[in-house]
A and B are shown apart, each in its own frame.
Chain A
């Protein structure tokens, strides 16, 4: 990965938040929040993955999630909760579930890794689709001879080809669970 992924950990129990941070900070850029409102302050487009405690005194995990959706952020979110939810995680809009307390660094790292993989694919895919749209729009406007003389078009074509290769590498890592999350349709 060219750039370290950013993980936001939100839990009102400081020792837990700090322990998670310690496990993750070697591989990821880590942000910590000790309340729901602090989590909202530290959320921006840079954040790739959020570990979200379900019960926080000021703003609950669910409400933070709603805000994430309202802001149109594309991060993937793991729900951390002491009670195993009796509903489908995906239906609630979460991507993964971690049972609290997470005592095993391995388990945490694995979950974060999965979610980072998905956001990486999402981001590359969005970029690829937007470039493909752009290319198609130029093609619709210009004659084939003109295209080869068009610098923007030539650059675009190269970028698409390069991105396609990277996307293919990312897709190799995706398993069926990742894809199920990828194609999960909240209105379905």
Chain B
């Protein structure tokens, strides 16, 4: 994009978006669709900072919900455990993956900055995602997370990139979310069913296109779940994301359905299996069922979501999970207002251990 310096400065002020969406397949999808809404993938570089689901899962989900992979794709996977889910294709060669220690903010900031600089002149729009702040807050204390996110948002803004930071509003108290909001230019909130999106500018009078001075909500409600929501949200976001680039109004390119994409057909993508398929399968034990649920959620989910998805009682779920935890199949972590359940190998494993670093 060719933009002059004053536009550039404007963009720096409006490039980081806090995405409040549940830690569910719907919420994960919302995050990907939001990333894809910035520019068509063919003209996008995506740097994904991921904490829980491995890059292979991310790619499978992107292929399912968005279609064509971005022109450039790099992962900074903040999880030191090697996890490759069975049955998923390995990553295309051009996709780069760096594995870093989630406890060390600089391990993420430094390689991310390098990546952003490398892409700066390749002609594409760069987009950064952090998935998710909810899990990030398990690794570092709030003050560190706040400073870390400030530096991230600053570096994203400095290269005219767009940042999307996913967080589950249910897990954290209101004050935590409101405090974090000050770091972002806009907050996008997605309802649990994924049907309703609202956009709030954090600093109401900051964007060039804004003609109002106070915070202003744009509610987007659409009954058609098949793509329409995301087209609409993109329209309402286009004023934030671009200085009026023509691509913003061109809906087709960025929301290609999975059928248009080559090798990955929906049936051989386990992460894409609809959750409701699971109960009908008589071969599954309860533990298998929970594990499949967890996989479809991206390796982590709220305990209350397990209850909701299975129709088991709270105490039944709690009992089953605690058995699975004893067997080392899962880990439960108390986060904010409830428990997060992590599939074994996906959990924030070193979060609370102070005597870990020997490698300095």
Chain A contact residues, CB within 8 Å of chain B: 88, 125, 128-129, 131-133, 135-137, 139-140, 144, 148, 160-161, 164, 167-168, 171-172, 174, 176, 179-180, 182-183, 185, 187-188
Assess whether A137 is in contact with B154, with CB atoms less than 8 Å apart. no
Assess whether A188 is in contact with B354, with CB atoms less than 8 Å apart. yes
Indicate whether B104 reaches chain A with its CB closer than 8 angstroms: yes
Assess whether A140 is in contact with B174, with CB atoms less than 8 Å apart. yes
Indicate whether B110 reaches chain A with its CB closer than 8 angstroms: yes
In whole angstroms, what is the CA distance A19 to B243 when docked?
54
In whole angstroms, what is the CA distance A131 to B181 when docked?
12
In whole angstroms, what is the CA distance A161 to B214 when docked?
13
- Besides the contacts A128-B182, A172-B154, what 16 more A-B pairs have beta carbons closer than 8 Å? A125-B150, A129-B143, A132-B146, A132-B183, A133-B175, A135-B178, A135-B182, A136-B176, A136-B177, A139-B174, A161-B206, A164-B182, A171-B150, A176-B113, A183-B106, A188-B104
In whole angstroms, what is the CA distance A132 to B179 when docked?
5
Known: A128-B182, A129-B143. A161 touches B203 (CB 8 A): yes
CB neighbours (8 Å) of A174 from chain B are 151
The smallest C-beta distance from A41 to any residue of chain B, in angstroms, reads 31
A-B contact pairs, 10 of them (CB 8 A): A129-B147, A135-B178, A136-B174, A136-B181, A139-B174, A140-B175, A161-B203, A171-B154, A176-B110, A183-B147
- A180 and chain B: residue at smallest CB distance: B106
CB neighbours (8 Å) of A182 from chain B are 147, 151
Assess whether A168 is in contact with B157, with CB atoms less than 8 Å apart. yes
Interface size on B, residues (CB 8 A): 36
Indicate whether B103 reaches chain A with its CB closer than 8 angstroms: yes
CB neighbours (8 Å) of B206 from chain A are 161
B151 contacts which of A129, A148, A179 (Cβ < 8 Å)? A179
Interface SS of chain A: helix, strand, loop or mixed?
helix
Assess whether B106 is in contact with A129, with CB atoms less than 8 Å apart. no
- B12 and chain A: residue at smallest CB distance: A168
Indicate whether B109 reaches chain A with its CB closer than 8 angstroms: yes
Indicate whether B285 reaches chain A with its CB closer than 8 angstroms: no
Assess whether A183 is in contact with B179, with CB atoms less than 8 Å apart. no
Q: Point out which of B109, B144, B175, B182 has the most chain A C-beta atoms below 10 A from its C-beta.
A: B182
Indicate whether B357 reaches chain A with its CB closer than 8 angstroms: yes
CB neighbours (8 Å) of A135 from chain B are 178-179, 182
Known: A136-B175, A160-B182, A182-B147. A176 touches B106 (CB 8 A): yes
Indicate whether B158 reaches chain A with its CB closer than 8 angstroms: yes
In whole angstroms, what is the CA distance A160 to B203 when docked?
9
A183 contacts which of B148, B154, B183, B354 (Cβ < 8 Å)? B148
CB neighbours (8 Å) of B146 from chain A are 129, 132
CB neighbours (8 Å) of A168 from chain B are 12, 154, 157
CB neighbours (8 Å) of A132 from chain B are 146, 179-180, 182-183
CB neighbours (8 Å) of B143 from chain A are 129
Known: A129-B143, A148-B214, A171-B150. A136 touches B179 (CB 8 A): yes
- B155 and chain A: residue at smallest CB distance: A171
Assess whether B178 is in contact with A140, with CB atoms less than 8 Å apart. yes
Closest 4 CB pairs of A and B: A136-B178, A132-B182, A136-B179, A171-B154
